[in-house]
Amino acid sequence: MSWKNTNELSNLVDLKDGETLEGIYTGRVEHVTKKDDTIIILSFDVNGEVKQLIGSGKLLAGMKGIEAGDKVKIEYKGMGECENPKQAGEMTKFHDFDVFKWEDK
């Protein structure tokens, strides 16, 4: 056994259109880049391996209410386009995700 740094960015997953990530949500950390930008890294335990996603607007909105220890499935739906580009300003396209939380009935 040994200690593993779960804050490393080497565990980032680049989901392609239609791909999913299923696992146990373990938390989030803020990471400051070399350019002093702050990004949010979401971490998951997927069959004993740490997997991470960079939190974008739609993904972070879907993760609201998800707590550490919750079983989740995240589906990447590709690039979405804002319905009202005038409200969006320069950001007319976005990464689109669906987030599902496992619930025992």
pLDDT digits (tens, 9 = 90+) for 35-69: 777 888 899 999 999 999 988 888 999 999 999 99
CATH number reported for the structural domain that contains residue 92 in this entry: 2.40.50
Domain of 64? 13-101
> Percent of the chain having pLDDT more than 90?
49
What is the domain count for the chain? 1
Average pLDDT over residues 4-31: 84
**Across 94-102, average pLDDT:** 91
pTM summary value: 0.77
DSSP 8-class letter at 103:
-
Distance from C-alpha of 66 to C-alpha of 11, rounded to nearest angstrom: 21
9 pLDDT more than 70 = no
- Report which of 15, 101, 13 is spatially closest to residue 64, judged by C-alpha positions: 101
